[in-house]
Chains A and B, each alone.
Chain A
Amino acid sequence: MFLDILRFEARRMSRNFAPVFFALAFPVMLLLVFGGIYGNKPSAQFGGHGVVDSSVPAYLVMIVSVTGLMSFPLGLAEYRDRKILKRFRATPARPSAFLLAQALVNILTSLVGAALLVVVGTIAFGLHMPINPIRAVGALVLATFAMYAVGSVIAAVAPTERVATVLANLVYFPMIFISGATIPLSIFPATMRHFADALPATYGVNLLQQAWLGTATNALTDAAVLGGAVVVSAAIAVRFFRWE
């Protein structure tokens, strides 16, 4: 039964323009634009790395932020606000199966977006692979958990679908624009970097860039912040989540 629920949610996701565009097409478009302008030659402006090599790990955090902070919580809010979860509760299916299926479909969409980004980066600009692939995968997994945990808080505390949309936008845009996921932190003034320090995505970008490029960061602190975000957000989400 769960596979059928997963298939159902995957088909719905394939018709949901916003997450499909922003997780699959948008990062590739950004990469093509900036890669087209700067190429991938090492540059002092990007810490001695190519723009593409530097951007891909950051864009990976943007991809998991799109699905984790927008698509996932808005999907849950829709199901709860429109009483769809309640309807499923009246069937022999467990409503939690629908939440799990939505999370898995969103994560799968992120994986496809990540693969697409890496493939396009490699073919078009000669993207270099991570210097430590295992740490890169670990960093991406941790960043994904962190974004989905924060997204769960949005779904849990928002009383309606409309409020969830507002909250998701309030969290999502700072998370991708001030964390270095879209715009390199190296061009930020010091004040803005203080704001960046308050965002979990910043630590995800740091961790991924370190695993990919070997850039300097305190990996332990980055991992601890992301892990803390997962634990605290999950606890809040569990405390406040309502089925209806």
Chain B
Amino acid sequence: MSATRGRHAAGEEGGIRIPAFVDVKGLSISYGAVSAVRNVSFRVNAGDVYGLIGPNGAGKTSIVETVAGLRSSTMGGSINMCGYDPCRNRGAVSRLLGIQLQESSYPSGARVGELCALYESIYRVPGGATALLESFGLLEHRKSLISSLSGGMRQRLALVLAQLGDVRVVVLDELTTGLDPEQRRETWESVRRLADRGVAVLLTSHHMDEVEALCSRVSVLLNGEVVAAGTPADLIVQHGGSTRFVIDTRQVSSEDVEALHGLGLQQPRRPHPGAVELAGQYPSDYRSIIDLLRSRGRSETAVRPRAATLEDAYLELVGRDTTVKVGVS
């Protein structure tokens, strides 16, 4: 791995605030003979929420844990976190970095307040957790055993611990996995508040609605490589295709579906189960579908137009047989 300077030009010691950023250039990670990540580059600035998305095994966790200095696998490329190389300056990086690890648990038998007090001691911020616990609605649970908290509360506690001290970068690895919709939205608010404070947030997620709601930029990973990168809106425009027309197969016959295919509209790679999807222009193609269904004695309620989403773009990208590099940042 190329040497990053011990201190970046933008950051100064002696009490001057170090700007938050993560700059990853040409990162490659391998485990023995297995190449897990190849030539990945991205940058997360202060106040940004950057998303890494991709199927299981795409390399997301390898990247975020390497960025956090937790992996020492064979690497190529460079990582610059607030002026430090996480592999060479782990001590300095650990003070600037907060992290929530995928599938990481809490010590058994610990109370919320005790764990917070421990982190306050580790990060040398006596009493620093109180305001955070209050803002995350956990202050009244300070004396509760962590094992008695709900899944949402535990994730919020992970966020509290991840930002204790003077952290400039927060890494969140599948933060909302296993949470119900209400808890997920509460957690999103917490992430937004983090970014509003100027913290650079790097997150991985399998929830495209979450990524669309939170991230200013996204990299899509497949087999360890970035196959597309940009804003969620860019990715939707470039890869999501045009308007989707969802045909309810309970209201139409297989002959009707065959006739609809005869219109020559594009079929997305991964249609919803129990429905047929066609992609085309609104309103012209929508009008053609309605006309065809009416001519076959079907109700126009059998078709519903919807805008393409990040999930459509994602499925199109990761469903490809060959990787296509588009706008890698």
Residues of A within 8 A of B (CB): 1, 4-5, 8, 11-13, 15-16, 78-79, 82-84, 86-87, 89-93
Is residue B70 within 8 Å, beta carbon to beta carbon, of the partner chain?
Answer: yes
Q: Mark B5-29, 1 if CB is under 8 A from A, else 0.
A: 0000000000000000000000000
5 CB < 8 A contacts A-B: A8-B117, A13-B109, A15-B145, A82-B104, A93-B122
Task: Please judge, given known A-B contacts A90-B99, A92-B122, whether A12 and B108 are in contact too, CB under 8 Å.
Answer: yes
Pair B105/A84 contact, Cβ less than 8 Å: yes
Is residue B114 within 8 Å, beta carbon to beta carbon, of the partner chain?
Answer: yes
Q: Give the CA-CA distance A188 to B130 in the complex, in Å.
A: 60
Which 5 pairs of residues, A with B, have the shortest CB-CB distance?
A: A82-B105, A4-B121, A15-B109, A83-B104, A12-B109
- Residues of chain A lying within 8 A (CB to CB) of residue B105: 82-84
Closest B residue to A2 using CB positions: B121
Residues of chain B in range 107-125 having any CB-CB distance to chain A below 8 Å: 107-111, 114-115, 117-119, 121-123
Task: Please judge, given known A-B contacts A86-B101, A90-B94, whether A5 and B107 are in contact too, CB under 8 Å.
Answer: no
Residue among B68, B70, B115 with max Cβ neighbours from chain A (10 Å) = B70
Chain A nearest Cβ from B328, distance in angstroms: 28
- Residues of chain A lying within 8 A (CB to CB) of residue B51: none
- Residues of chain A lying within 8 A (CB to CB) of residue B145: 15
Q: Give the CA-CA distance A87 to B97 in the complex, in Å.
A: 12
Pair B110/A8 contact, Cβ less than 8 Å: yes
- Residues of chain A lying within 8 A (CB to CB) of residue B68: 90
- Residues of chain A lying within 8 A (CB to CB) of residue B95: 92
Is residue B127 within 8 Å, beta carbon to beta carbon, of the partner chain?
Answer: no
Beyond A4-B117, A16-B108, A83-B101, 12 additional pairs, beta carbon < 8 A:
A1-B122, A8-B110, A11-B110, A15-B109, A16-B109, A78-B108, A79-B107, A82-B104, A84-B104, A87-B101, A91-B94, A93-B122
Chain A nearest Cβ from B148, distance in angstroms: 12
Chain B nearest Cβ from A134, distance in angstroms: 37
- Residues of chain B lying within 8 A (CB to CB) of residue A12: 107-110, 114
Q: Give the CA-CA distance A5 to B105 in the complex, in Å.
A: 17
Q: Give the CA-CA distance A12 to B95 in the complex, in Å.
A: 26
Is residue B31 within 8 Å, beta carbon to beta carbon, of the partner chain?
Answer: no
Pair B122/A84 contact, Cβ less than 8 Å: no
**Which single member of B91, B104, B110, B123 contacts A87 (CB below 8 Å)?**
B104
Residues of B within 8 A of A (CB): 68-70, 91, 94-95, 97, 99, 101, 103-111, 114-115, 117-119, 121-123, 145
Q: Give the CA-CA distance A119 to B109 in the complex, in Å.
A: 29
Q: Give the CA-CA distance A78 to B106 in the complex, in Å.
A: 10
Chain A nearest Cβ from B17, distance in angstroms: 19
Q: Give the CA-CA distance A91 to B107 in the complex, in Å.
A: 15
- Residues of chain A lying within 8 A (CB to CB) of residue B117: 4, 8
Residue among A15, A79, A84, A91 with max Cβ neighbours from chain B (10 Å) = A91
Residue among B68, B97, B104, B107 with max Cβ neighbours from chain A (10 Å) = B107
Closest A residue to B92 using CB positions: A92
- Residues of chain A lying within 8 A (CB to CB) of residue B97: 90
Q: Give the CA-CA distance A78 to B105 in the complex, in Å.
A: 10
Q: Give the CA-CA distance A90 to B101 in the complex, in Å.
A: 10
- Residues of chain B lying within 8 A (CB to CB) of residue A1: 121-122
Closest A residue to B106 using CB positions: A84
- Residues of chain A lying within 8 A (CB to CB) of residue B108: 12, 16, 78
- Residues of chain A lying within 8 A (CB to CB) of residue B110: 8, 11-12
Chain A nearest Cβ from B120, distance in angstroms: 8
- Residues of chain B lying within 8 A (CB to CB) of residue A93: 122
Q: Give the CA-CA distance A92 to B99 in the complex, in Å.
A: 12
- Residues of chain A lying within 8 A (CB to CB) of residue B99: 87, 90
Closest A residue to B104 using CB positions: A83
Q: Give the CA-CA distance A86 to B105 in the complex, in Å.
A: 10
Chain A nearest Cβ from B145, distance in angstroms: 8
**Which single member of B70, B94, B101, B107 contacts A92 (CB below 8 Å)?**
B94
**Which single member of A4, A83, A90 contacts B103 (CB below 8 Å)?**
A83
Task: Please judge, given known A-B contacts A4-B118, A5-B118, A8-B114, whether A90 and B70 are in contact too, CB under 8 Å.
Answer: yes
- Residues of chain A lying within 8 A (CB to CB) of residue B70: 86, 89-90
Q: Give the CA-CA distance A82 to B109 in the complex, in Å.
A: 14
Closest A residue to B145 using CB positions: A15
- Residues of chain A lying within 8 A (CB to CB) of residue B111: 11
Q: Give the CA-CA distance A86 to B109 in the complex, in Å.
A: 18
Q: Give the CA-CA distance A151 to B224 in the complex, in Å.
A: 39
Closest A residue to B103 using CB positions: A83
